[in-house]
Amino acid sequence: MNILAPPKARLSIEIVHDLVCPWCFLGVRRLMRTLRRRPDLLFDLTWRPFLLNPDMPRAGMSRGDYVIRKFGGEDRARRLYSSIAEIGRAEGVLFRFDRIHRTPSSVDAHRLVRYASRFGRADALVEALFSAHFTDGGDIGDPVLLGALAQSCGLDGRQAGQFLASEAEVDAVHADNLRAHRLGINGVPCFVISGRHAIAGAQEPEVIERLLDVAAVDAAEIQ
């Protein structure tokens, strides 16, 4: 007797994030870990930019200046970063804030993620960008580094460089950032599932999984 298995639910997940946000790095890691343990579900991921520092110069700024502007001083930043690093170790994320000497604008990195999505390489590129910034201390606003990361993720480095040298997708990045605020998203990461369910923050996998279950039930009812 041939029994057909029920079709898998397919969920769309919008990942609203900023590539200079350590909580986004943690949250995305937890989301991906959760998705890997749900082979019963299918997922379509869309990466949506959010600009934590919308007034950051495109050339970025020194880390010292940024820490003073953002946190009021080095001591407060050090305490916060120490806490994040400890949480990161449990997730296999090695935060090396001491290696970051320049805080970049994330606009060009977000542009490159949009470009990579055309070729199905956005997921790999996002991971590479997070690691380059938070583990290696790289300036992900530097077009040379961005081109190298694109190539390491299977993209044509020359074509990616040409894209970065243009202003393509700049307006789209800012439009998505504005859209997020209009939807009431004021902090990241934020995961929006099937356009109906949302969860903000670097939540534990168990919390994410419960939301996936709710979204899957809704998807099954619609089918």
First to last CA, the chain: 25
Is residue 30 pLDDT above 90, yes or no? yes
pLDDT of 38 higher than 90: yes
More confident residue, 223 or 125: 125
**With 80 as the cut, is the pLDDT of residue 128 above it?**
yes
98: which DSSP letter? Answer: G
Distance between CA atoms of residues 179 and 176, nearest Å = 5
Q: Express as a percent the part of the chain with pLDDT over 70.
A: 96
For residue 7, the model assigns a pLDDT of: 73
| The pLDDT value given to residue 220 | 77
Exposure string of 139-175, with b = 16+ CB inside 10 Å and e = fewer, is bbbbeebbbbbbeebebeeeebbebbeeeebeeebee
Q: Check whether 214 has a pLDDT greater than 90.
A: yes
For the chain, what percent of residues have pLDDT higher than 90?
Answer: 91
- What is the pLDDT, as a whole number, of residue 3? 54
Identify the pLDDT of residue 8: 83
172-184 pLDDT per residue, tens: 999 999 999 999 9
pLDDT band at 117 (very low <50, low <70, confident <90, very high): very high
pLDDT score recorded for residue 219: 81
- Contact assessment for residue 123 and residue 153, using Cβ atoms and an 8 Å cutoff: no
Average of per-residue pLDDT values in the chain: 94
Per-residue pLDDT for 111 more than 70? yes
> Measured over all CA atoms, what is the biggest interatomic distance in the chain, rounded to whole angstroms?
70
Question: What pTM does this model have?
Answer: 0.94
Q: Distance between alpha carbon 188 and the CA centroid of its chain, in Å?
A: 9
Q: 152, 172, 127, 150: which is closest to 27 by C-alpha? A: 127
Per-residue pLDDT for 2 more than 50? no
Q: What is the pLDDT of residues 41-91, one digit of tens each?
A: 999 999 999 999 999 999 999 999 999 999 998 999 999 999 999 999 988
Spell out the SS3 assignment of the chain.
CCCCCCCCEEEEEEEEECCCCHHHHHHHHHHHHHHHCCCCEEEEEEEEECCCCCCCCCCCEEHHHHHHHHHCCHHHHHHHHHHHHHHHHHCCCCCCHHHCCEECCCHHHHHHHHHHHCCCCHHHHHHHHHHHHHCCCCCCCCHHHHHHHHHHCCCCHHHHHHHHHCCCCHHHHHHHHHHHHHCCCCCCCEEEECCCEEEECCCCHHHHHHHHHHHHHHHHHHC
CB atoms within 10 A of CB 5: 6
pLDDT band at 222 (very low <50, low <70, confident <90, very high): low
